[in-house]
Each structure stands twice: as C-alpha cells, then as structure tokens.
Amino acid sequence: MKPSAKLSVSLVFSVLAAATLAAACGPGMDEDEGGEQGLGRDNDPPLADREELLAGAPKADEIPVEFKADEILPTTFSDLVALQSPVKNQASRGVCSIFAVAGLMEHLYRIEGSVANPDFSEQYLQWSAKVEVGSFPNTSGSNASYNLEAISEFGIPAEAAWPYEPAQWGASQDAACAGDEGLPTRCYTNGEPPQAALDAPKFFLPASRWLSRSDIKAHMFNRRSAVVVGFDFFYQSWNHRRSTLPINTRYWDQGYVLYPNDRDKQVSREHRAGHAVLLVGWDDTLEVPVVDENGAQVLDSSGQPRVERGFYIFKNSWGTGGFGLQNPFGPGYGYISQRYIDEFGSMRVTDVPVIEARREVCDDGVDNDGDERADCDDTDCAEEAACQGDTGTEVTFDGAGSIAIPDNDPAGVSSPVEADRGGSITRLTVQVGISHSYRGDLRVSLHRGSEAVVLHDRAGGSADDLVQTFEVSDFNGQDLAGEWRLVVVDLASQDTGTLDSWSLSALIVE
C-alpha cells in the first residue's frame, strides 16, 4: 500500500518549550507507550554525538561512483521492505547506528537464506565495536563504519546469545558507572559478554564501503540491498518531542521527515546531534506540504501549499509504539527528504554474505558425527571419491564468443553451451572474458533451466573489461549434463562491449 502522490494534509501543531534537548538517536519509547498524540513523552535518552556518528566519513566528491548517472530507475521502489526484519526499539540508549547496522545485517542474511529469521545481537555488537575494534571506548557513541568493521573482522552472534538491554548501566550496576561522561568502557557496553555469547557461532559480513549519494537508488535497485545512513539531526524536521519550534504530530504519525528550514538548522545546531537509519526504498512522486519555522503552511505565489517532492523510505529503531504509527509500510517506518539525505547524509554499504556450502556427496550414508547429515566426515563416506580432496574428472566446455553486448538493454545477450558428459558436480568454475569500456554497466549470470546465479553485478565502476574466473557452488551435487547459458546484460547507456569468450569447467564424480 502506498500513499497518494498528492497529499491533502490537515496540520495539527503543538508547541513544546524545552529547557534541554533529548537525544536524536530516538525518543526511546516502549512498545506500549504512545504518550500524547503518539509522541511518547516520558523518556529522555542521552544525546548522540554527531561527530562520532559521522567520524571518518569522506567528502562527497572523494567517494568513487559505482553506477552511471544516466541509468533510468523507477519512480518508486519498495521491494526491499518485504526483506526487512521486524522493527526494533533502542529504548533509552543512544545506539541508533548499532541498530541500523544490525538491521542491515539481518536484511542481507534474509537475502542469503542460510539463517531462518535472522536476529543478531545489538548488545554484542556494541561491545565488539568498542572493545574489539576500539572505537569510542569512553562514550556510548558509534558509527556504521566501525560497526561493520566489527562484524566483518570478528563477527557477532544471534540475539539469544546476549539479548539487548534497553538501559545503559548506571551506579546501581557498577559504582564506576555513576555520571554521564568519561566512564569506563564497561559502562557503555553493560559489562562483558556472557561466556555463552563468546562461545556462540559468529556471523559475518563482507568488508563495507562508503557509498556516493548519487548511487543510493542504483545500489538499492541493482544490488537489492538497503543502505545505512548517518546524518545531522534537525528537531523540527523530525517533529521530535523536544523541538523548541512548533512540531506537526500528523507528520510524526506518518513518519514524514522534511528538509529543515533555516531556523530549524540554526536552533538544532545549538544542541547538535545525529541519527542513523536504514534506507530501504524511495518514492519520487510523494509530495508533502512544507511548513515554516512557525509551523504554518508555506504557500506559493498563487496561494497554493508549497510541497516537497521526493522521499526515501526508511526503517527506524524507535519501536512500533510511536514514530510512523500510520506509515503505509508499518509502524516504525518513515519517509525522509531525499534532499535532506543528499546534503547531510553519509552512507555505508556492504554485500550479501557468501556462505560456503559444506560438500555432501554421500546421500545414502549413515551419519555418525552428530551433525544430522551424512557427509565426508562420516566413516561410511570415507571411501567416496569426492571426499578425497579434488579426486574426480575435470572437464571443460567452451561457449561461443565474439558477441556484441546490446547497450542499455535488459535482454542482454545469451551464449549457450551443451555439456555432453554427465557426473555429479563437486566443483564448478566459470571463466569470462568481456571487453567493455565501463565494467560497472554489466551484470553477468550463469543459467541452468530455471535456476540462475549472478556472477558479477555492476561492480568495478568505470574500470575497463571483465576478465575473471568465478567459482560457483550453487550447482554442487547436481548432474553436469545438459544446457548451460551465460547471460551478459549492459544496464546503462553510452559505453559498449563484447563477450569475447567464456567457458565452463567442472570437477565431476561419475
């Protein structure tokens, strides 16, 4: 369900005067706590340090561009919403970037498919980022770059291994944790992980990278992956309960975050803070009436409400009992101005994890190693040829080459090869040789019947050519015989290329 592109919004305003400002990393509402008009006014979490949230982020013009500016993308895109884990609640702790990154990880593992209902430990990630990575050990702050480094280098366990604790330690837990600043690291991590969490299986993600603002939509659309973004927080734009300027409770309930007016920028920077969320789509057609610093509708020269057009869809970490209660994608989701993110955001992304499948070749064997499957670790399978290293027969089949790749054509070009020898696949590689003036235009996939595996997905930016060998485990255990196809698609205009050659090599057991 989507809202209409043209909104008729009746504005309901309330003015809150506040002597102090609450943290931008969330009002921290409990799930059953709505407060006045859905705002949840009882919690005052500590300020999130904007400088820590954006530490290390390069200037916009220093980030390599991965996708071409002339790519035609849909005006609305929300496919990624269905691939998100449930909205969580960071409660009274200023750990929005921890939750945004954990949400990204759960999203990527949902795509990867090896973990049912992935739910990873934010509590452990907070500890790992501070202790194992060493980032901001004496504050509660963090950012996406360090959080993703912790996951990539050390891994984190499932939520059940160390469940999230909604309140940071205070003096009642540890006398050294009295006060707000400069405390021992254990106060911000709520101690050390329990032994069960240290011993639990760890889950990882590939190394992360900064993303250019011009690539946000293309990354979500082409990589089918969400984007973590950290940014300056503007209280009136968010209709935050501690704004000293008038706020719009209707916009809060809808989850609308508009570009800040000049006065909002000024007063928000007097108590500077930041926030981080997960971008999961966009709507270029959505229009929301603009309001001024006094909360009044801004009218154009003809007396009609002036609107802001173009919003990203985002997943927040403030629970489901307040923000975005009436958002069409569900409580806890929102729309944030694309102009806001383009000007103030710093984006971080990574890729879907690649989990190496364990080789299983003894379907009729007997499990005796306790892992509930018959495989090469079982003595009944010890004599199986495929269990003996790379024993087997290596065969190679060459596909047709010297084929021009249509420019900016989603149909692309398909080159078939017929494998006329059967046998159970234990290793499969694809060698590809493509001449092209912009590698980032290309998507390359291997097809067999209705099954397809993407080998290269618009990576490499403006680099020339794609000459690479890909190892593919998806077809292990299947019979090699039959037709295979390599499909090469150029998804942007101007640059062109040729599929020069490709081959399929397999190690088989007959």
CA distance 192 to 285: 48
Return the pLDDT at 179. Answer: 85
Angle of the 96-112 helix axis to the 144-153 helix axis, nearest 10: 50
DSSP letter string, 203-254: B-----EEE-GGGHHHHHHHH---EEEEEE--TTTTT-TT-SS-EEHHHHHH
Other C-beta atoms closer than 10 Å to the C-beta of 116 total 8
Cα angle: 220, vertex 223, 227; to 5 degrees = 40
Secondary structure class of 48 (helix, strand, coil): coil
* pLDDT above 60 (res 6): no
Confidence tier at 464 by pLDDT (50, 70, 90): confident
Is 113 exposed, middle or buried, given 0-12, 13-18 or 19+ CB atoms closer than 10 A? exposed
Return the pLDDT at 32. Answer: 34
* pLDDT above 60 (res 17): no
Confidence tier at 356 by pLDDT (50, 70, 90): low
* pLDDT above 50 (res 81): yes
Mean pLDDT across 352-380: 54
CA distance 1 to 273: 33
* pLDDT above 80 (res 110): yes
H/E segment holding residue 487: strand 482-490
Q: Per CATH, which fold does 13-349 belong to?
A: Cathepsin B; Chain A (3.90.70)
Separation of first and last alpha carbons in the chain: 52
Mean pLDDT across 383-403: 73
Mean pLDDT across 337-343: 98
Three-state SS string across 298-365, please?
CECCCCCECEEEEEEEEECCECCCCCCCCCCCCCCEEEEEHHHHHHHEEEEECCCCCCCCCCCCCCCC
Return the pLDDT at 372. Answer: 46
Residues forming a β-bridge with 436: 497
Return the pLDDT at 48. Answer: 65
Mean pLDDT highest for which of 7-21, 327-341, 349-363, 419-433?
327-341
Secondary structure class of 196 (helix, strand, coil): helix
DSSP 8-state class, residue 268: H
* Residue 477 identity (one-letter amino acid): G
Confidence tier at 124 by pLDDT (50, 70, 90): very high
Mean pLDDT across 502-508: 93
Query: For residue range 259-278, what is the model confidence (pLDDT) as tens digits?
Result: 999 999 999 999 999 999 99
Return the pLDDT at 181. Answer: 79
pLDDT averaged over the chain? Answer: 85
Percent with pLDDT over 90 in the chain = 70
Percent with pLDDT over 70 in the chain = 84
The encoded tokens of residue 335 equal 């729309």
Mean pLDDT across 455-482: 90
Q: Does the structural domain 392-509 have CATH classification 1.10.3720.10?
A: no
Buried b (16+ CB within 10 A) or exposed e, 1-27: eebeeeeebeeeeeebeeeebbbbbbb
Confidence tier at 186 by pLDDT (50, 70, 90): very high
Return the pLDDT at 359. Answer: 45
pTM of the model as a whole: 0.75
Find the farthest-apart pair of alpha carbons in the chain and give their distance in angstroms, rounded: 84
In the chain, what are the domain boundaries? 13-349, 361-389, 392-509
**What residue has token string 């089918």?**
224
